[in-house]
Structure 1
Amino acid sequence: MKRGLKFLLALGFAMMSLAGQIPTAAANSVGYTVRAMLPSNQDDPTVNYFALRTKPNARQRLTIVINNTSSTRQKYWVNVNQAVTNDNGVIDYSQTNPKLDPSLKVGIKDIFTKASNQKVTVPANTQKRVALTYRMPAKKLRGIILGGVYVEQVPPKAHNSGSAITLNNAFSYAIGIRLRENTKTIAPNLRLHQIQAVQVNRRNLVTANLQNSQPGIMQKLTVNARVTNAGSTQTLIRQQQSGMGMAPNSNFNFGIPWGNQNLPSGRYTLYLSAKAGAQKWQFKRNFTIQGTTVRRLNKTVLTPTKQPNYWLYALLGLLIAMLLAVIGYLLYRDRHEKLTK
């Protein structure tokens, strides 16, 4: 017994020692930092991105600082990107060449020079300033232009030594750029466009394309959507999501997963309600899923795995425990009777 206890203690200390040797990610493990040098026309001193008050025909040079904290020389891609909304309902600055919404009249790429997109080399343990230049259109603009400086480390080439392949991680930073020519806030507006059946990562969804058609940011967006057969009130599939945002003059596809449902071809109705702050929207739209679409999607769909029946497992476990208790009692009684004879 004592030998077993000593073994368990030794094993515990060995595991604790091993856990102490697991490396933890330090705050500067990325190897570099990026910051904005805020100019005098910064109209919101509480933020660390470019929130600028500008005017028609204004030309300005912005500066960011890349600080290479690593012990080797590093290269970085610097791009000024348009802010768009991805299909998770998140404002995204990482897309270099996104598909732009038709309502966007003047984008970030229209005012920043091509030279603002550049490849920058920074020596080890050194800071480097990077200049970005824009010029506003002559005609005064409503609302805001939203984009971001997207800085991504150029990873070293992966080395292939025999069968072992070394993978390198690339880290990135985004610094927002918000430009406006007056302090009047333009309220966002939500529109519903195309509804269709699609497949994402081998999972079938009904997507509703939602558009913010105004040059204003939409925040704290909540969407509640459900699909019924046309002419019916019974909900077939539904999806609710909150805490989303939309960039000005952008759109995204709000997905409603089929789940375990296998929607046949036919006519359906989408009911979609949305709320952002004090603004509310209600949509009701009929749409059709073609038979050719269903057959195409079902060829590659990932069949949903059935959830295990935990109640059945619990019942089986209880029956086994009761059976063992009965067997234990009978053995005990038989042994006790033998001893008393």
Structure 2
Amino acid sequence: MKRLLPILSLVVLILFPSITFAEEGKESKGITENEKRAGFTVQAVLPDNQINDRISFYHLLMKPEQSQTIQVKIMNTSPEKQTYKVEVINAATNRNGLITYDKREKKPDKSMKLPITDVAKPKNKEATVDAFSEGQAEIDIQTPAEPFQGILLGGIRISLKSEGKEDDSKGMSVKNTYGYAIGLVLTEQDFAPVYGETDLKLTKLQPEIDYGSKVLEASIQNPHPEAMQKLTAEGKIVRKGQKSTLAKNSLEDVKIAPNSVFPFQIDWGMQEVSAGEYTFIGKIKGKTKTWNFKEDFTITREMAEKMNKQTAFRIFIPSWWMVSFYVVGTLTAVVTAWLIIRLIKRKKGREMHEKE
């Protein structure tokens, strides 16, 4: 068990909208600026079945039909009593190639037979801690009778509950402002690797609008119960049967969660998208394996019009602007010509006056 390779720390400090990863093995010296803003810190209380006690997240060796409750220590460093929201969320992969624990409503990939949210659940959805005091959140784990292979990966999120009130009738909900996510890895084989490079598959190509940009999204599936790390991803779009690159993208240090889809995106940029046949050419390279993808896709006229119309970054010149441009240009030319003629006449008049 101790021979397992060091694992990237899955403890995440969430200060919306950015997410940063803490470095494994480094202890905090005093309270950081982010912790001051959050007003609390958390710490995993590692149980006896922790596989590697040198890391700061849970990596537990389980057995079929095992019941266990684990604790997360919550230290309230603020001068006020605070309430925290407690959640367990399946690990997912975002378009930047990072493993995240913020996709609450995202359905697990079809390759995931046993989501960790079916196994680990908060004993209470909220925890309250007095000012300058220490409390805890508890997570109940119940493994099924049928053994599972590989790892289950998710995050235990402890978020500061805002003072806003929930109003289901108006579609409003409590907003979380600050929080932490602690990685939770479950396995029933102490030899099961957390990271591997078994296989990747291209399952879908979808031209779409994402955050106002025209993109082609290539769904790269990791169908196995192991995470991937230190991958490089690159891809480009060409016209079918041609070699000239229309758009491309590349990412370094990509990580993919177990049984999840990496939504690799290529931005078309400012260019207009036209209907036609295209080809996606992609490559993902790991330490021991390389996957090459090549697949044709079609952009219909309706799809192209929709993408060009809805993008927030397209150059739009209204017809009235063109008319105004020509009118102003003509007036400017007329006024300039009149001023020049007037200047010439005045100059001639002065010359005649001097001769007299």
Map of 2:157 onto structure 1: 150
Does the CA contact (< 8 Å) of 1:79 and 1:116 recur in 2?
no
Map of 1:312 onto structure 2: none
Map of 2:335 onto structure 1: none
Post-superposition offset of 1:47: 0.7
Partner of 1:170, secondary structure, is: strand
| Identity level (%) | 33
- Return the TM-score normalized by structure 2: 0.73
Partner of 2:37, secondary structure, is: coil
Report the residue type matching 2:261 in the other structure: N
Separation of aligned partners in 1, 2:124 and 2:254 = 29
The alpha-carbon distance between structure 1 residues 256 and 76, as it changes in their structure 2 partners (threshold 3 A), is same
Report the residue type matching 2:127 in the other structure: V
Separation of aligned partners in 2, 1:201 and 1:218 = 27
- Return the TM-score normalized by structure 1: 0.76
2:297 to 275, 287, 301: 287
Map of 2:331 onto structure 1: none
Does the CA contact (< 8 Å) of 1:51 and 1:179 recur in 2?
yes
Map of 2:216 onto structure 1: 206
Structure 2 residue runs of 5 or longer lacking an equivalent are 1-31, 166-174, 316-356
1:221 to 231, 238, 261: 231
Map of 2:129 onto structure 1: 122
Separation of aligned partners in 2, 1:54 and 1:83 = 19
Map of 1:319 onto structure 2: none
Partner of 1:260, secondary structure, is: coil
- Runs of 4+ in structure 1 off by over 6 angstroms are none
- RMSD, matched Cα: 2.0
The alpha-carbon distance between structure 1 residues 26 and 281, as it changes in their structure 2 partners (threshold 3 A), is closer
Report the residue type matching 1:107 in the other structure: P
Aligned positions of 1:78-97 closer than 5 A: 78-97=86-105
Separation of aligned partners in 1, 2:106 and 2:130 = 32
* Aligned residue pairs, count: 273
Partner of 2:242, secondary structure, is: coil
1:265 to 262, 266, 275: 275
Does the CA contact (< 8 Å) of 2:86 and 2:127 recur in 1?
yes
2:246 to 236, 242, 259: 236
Does the CA contact (< 8 Å) of 1:187 and 1:214 recur in 2?
no
Partner of 2:105, secondary structure, is: coil
Separation of aligned partners in 1, 2:251 and 2:284 = 10
1:184 to 180, 187, 192: 192
Separation of aligned partners in 2, 1:278 and 1:304 = 41
Does the CA contact (< 8 Å) of 2:40 and 2:74 recur in 1?
yes
Structure 1 residue runs of 5 or longer lacking an equivalent are 1-23, 159-167, 306-341
